[in-house]
Amino acid sequence: MHFLSIYDDQLSMMSQPIIDLSYPLDNATPPFPGNPPVEIVVQATIPADHPAGVPGAMNISRLHTGPHVGTHLDAPFHFFREGATIDQIPLSDTMESHSC
Ligand SMILES: [Zn+2]
């Protein structure tokens, strides 16, 4: 399971291809020691007899985990009282441009 952010609009505006180095997140993803494990539970599924494209039914999952699991970015605030929080870091600051 990959989680895309509200910043996907920024990604679509970039002219270079993007290589996603993140690993999928699932119930087998090991947490950082001392953090809760990943728990993804299906809460509801669209019934097989529900007409395709018709609203009214949903697939719903519940995700429970700590923030330090799988591929993630620790904000400076994690280590420094006055550090930037993750929402203060532009997505572009997390990317590098390379030529192959
Ligand atoms: Zn972390």
User: pLDDT tens digits, residue range 87-97?
Assistant: 999 988 888 87
- Which residues have a beta carbon within 5 Å of ligand 1, which is an ion? 68, 74
- The token pair at 100 is 């192959």
Residue among 40, 91, 44 nearest 70 (CA): 40
The amino acid at 51: P
Ligand 1 center–CA 70 separation, angstroms: 9
Nearest 10 degrees: CA dihedral of 4, 10, 81, 3? 0
pLDDT band at 32 (very low <50, low <70, confident <90, very high): confident
- What Rg value do the Cα atoms of the chain yield, rounded? 18
Model pTM score: 0.60
Ligand 1 center–CA 84 separation, angstroms: 14
The answer to whether residue 12 scores a pLDDT higher than 70 is no
Distance from C-alpha of 98 to C-alpha of 100, rounded to nearest angstrom: 7
Q: Is 78 a catalytic residue?
A: yes
**Residue percentage of the chain with pLDDT more than 70:** 84
The amino acid at 83: G
CB 57 within 8 A of CB 41: no
Where along the chain do its domains lie? 29-48+56-100
Choose between 90 and 18: higher pLDDT. Answer: 90
